Amino acid sequence: MLWETLSVVRDLPRLHEIASVMIRYGWGDLVRMLGISGVLERAGRVLHWHSTSEISQLDAPVRIRRALEELGPTFVKLGQLLATRVDMFPPNWITEFEKLHSQVPAVPYELLHPVLIAALKGEPSVLFAEFDPVPLAAGSIAQVHRATLKDGSPVVVKVRRPNIEAVIRADLRILEHAARLLVSEVPDLRRYDPVQIVSQFRRSLNRELDLAKEARNIEQFARNFADDPLVQIPQVYWEYTNDQVNVQEQIIGLSGVSPDKLRERGLDPVILAARGADTVLRMVLEHGYFHADPHPGNVMFLPDNRIGMIDFGMVGMLTNSRRNQIVDMLSGLTRKDEQVLLQVLLDWNDDSVGDEDRLAYDVAELLQSYDDLQLKDVKIGALLNDITAMMRDNNLLLPADLTLLFKTLITLEGLGQQLDPHFHMIDNVTPFVERIIQQRYTPQALFARGRKSVREALEVIADLPRDLRHLLRDVRRGRIKVDLDLKRLDHFGHQLDRASNRITMGILTASLVVGSSIIMTVEGGPKLFGLPLFGLVGFLIAFFNSLWIIFSIWRSGKH
């Protein structure tokens, strides 16, 4: 139960708040299942198990989205993460999760001022030529202020909200316990691995809390695009930057505006759409390190149709092998090669597919549905959504490092179509894929892969005698172990331990009854109410033991 695992009393107020919000939005069954009601009732906190008629009439995705919004920054961020899990949730849920945003009321400057002084190690009005106390933007973790350096350079100062770290740490502790309980109590959820989702969420939040990490991200992107004059990445001012504050160059341009306004400023929306797509595709397919939130507010349009990128708190990473799988998938889609696409899906799930024939049929059916379309008419967002829907139907999961990628590509295509109604992401993808595939088969690439394969084979052969010697030694010494991962074994052991405790108490109680009965027949000794004192005490202890056993059995039947 959750009350048995929560070790710190300081989380009880937050736990009560979470339970109350979830109940009000019609998720009381989830609260009961997690045992939250039990811990709060034992702590004397009353829960009102009802929701308003207005709320009860809302669809489940709307109710969960509104509950997450009310629960604050951690849960809003969790909803944003779940919005990337297109392999887990149907489109109507994803649509609601996408409505979650991090815009919250700004912290008054008088409360933020001490944080700035401590983080900057000085008074902002002294360190900067100008500092605007009115925030430029406010998010759930940090807010941004305009400033000017002594040399006249315009910058933005991003500072963490006061006490936000303590709130997030408490929420993460509660979410981790809840994830373990979901795995234990709801077997159907195990394949989604809630514990891993919360672990991924924790890492993502820790990165966002560390504003110096965002600064390092910015510098990595700056190095990757150092040779591209059409892409501008802000400069970081490290003398003012640490985990609580981030000072970077202010990129002044247009964002989130209509194509007509861009044309009024002498910019070409068609060129900007293509360059924006090429910039992100280069991050994904060439660098393996990409901006994971390219929504209109984070992409700036600069003079000479250049692209500026801001807000690097959320980034994605892809290994070389994963990038090759992405290239193979995109190649299979553009060439409508069902065998290539099928093999990529099998690789993503370690070949652990329940019905491979059904999956192969679904892949062929998917590609067939696009057979009558010209390549230029294919919308990659709709195609990726179809692939993830097919994966859900076949109980397949998208690897965690690809959920951000799929979401990024879908967001990017939407941005491109806002700028240019005739924009087709697939037109920008195809040249990248063809170029990378051609590079795989150049003489230099073939020679490098061959040399690597020979080196790895020689290393295996050279290590074989040593590995065999170690294996035989472990066999002789009885050190060979077989690890069995038996699901719910810990839970079963806990239940067995409780049952054995009850049996033990039952035997002791029965022994007390028998012993006390014998004492009652013996003359002599101290008396109480005319009865042998020791026999009477034995009966009383047996009586209270019996009450404990009955209460324990009754309580376990409620959970």
The catalytic residue positions are: 293
Structure tokens at 95: 């649509």
Contact (CB, 8 A) for 533 and 539: no
Instruction: Find all residues with CB under 8 Å of 173, minimum gap 6, and list them.
Output: 6, 8, 11
**Closest CA relative to residue 405, chosen from 256, 280, 298:** 280
In the chain, the amino acid numbered 41 is E
Contact (CB, 8 A) for 298 and 311: yes
CA 559 to chain centre: 29
Distance of alpha carbon 112 from alpha carbon 162, whole angstroms:
7
Using the CB atoms, write b or e for 254-269: b if 16+ within 10 Å: beebebeebeeeebbb
Element (H, E) at 246: strand 245-249
Contact (CB, 8 A) for 195 and 202: no
What are phi and psi for residue 312, nearest 5 degrees? -105, 30
DSSP labels, 175-191: HHHHHHHHHHH-GGGGG
In the chain, the amino acid numbered 421 is P
Contact (CB, 8 A) for 259 and 419: yes
Contact (CB, 8 A) for 176 and 194: no
Distance of alpha carbon 279 from alpha carbon 291, whole angstroms:
10
User: Residue 140, class by beta-carbon neighbours within 10 Å (0-12 exposed, 13-18 middle, 19+ buried)?
Assistant: buried
DSSP labels, 384-400: HHHHHHHHHHTT----H
Distance of alpha carbon 246 from alpha carbon 239, whole angstroms:
10
